[in-house]
Amino acid sequence: MKNLIFLLGLMLGTSAAWAQANTDQSKLEEKMGPKIEFSTTIVDYGTIEQGADPLRVVEFKNVGDEPLIIKNARGSCGCTVPSWPKEPIMPGESSKIEIRYDTKRIGPISKTVKITTNEKDNNVHVLRVKGKVLRKEPKKDLPVKESNLLAPKSK
């Protein structure tokens, strides 16, 4: 009888240890890795004047549980130039991507910026850049009083 109770206890102890080992393994598998979350995926310049400030900023956060690395960021043409942090973004930290559009170009803006990260599942993200650049009106000179032009110079 004592042997039976001992054997039963041994079996329960072994199964509990095995269940704990499987739970620990599941926790390791549950890690999500790095995950980027943008404040917005649309960079809206609105309607701006030719030569206006070309810089816009998109903030993001690593909501994952491992360091996030932005491997690359590329505009859909040479007129849209992104710059991004080259160092890893730790879990819970935020950072920003700067986007410069050539505001000397007149007309509608419809471009994209493709972001490539080290995320496991969805490692490519697209930011949409939109707006409209209007031709800058030339500055009109201030009128000059004619009487000042005709007055003799004082000695």
Q: Which residue has the higher pLDDT, 8 or 40?
A: 40
Sheet holding 107-117, edge to edge: 42-49, 124-134, 107-117, 70-75
Res 49 pLDDT > 90: yes
How high is the pLDDT of residue 137? Answer: 82
* CA angle (32 as vertex; 30, 38 as ends), nearest 5: 155
Res 8 pLDDT > 70: no
Tens of pLDDT, residue by residue over 75-89, are 999 999 999 999 999
Domain boundaries, the chain: 36-134
CA 74 remoteness from chain centre? 12
Query: Model pTM?
Result: 0.70
How high is the pLDDT of residue 27? Answer: 54
CATH superfamily of domain region 36-134: Immunoglobulins (2.60.40.10)
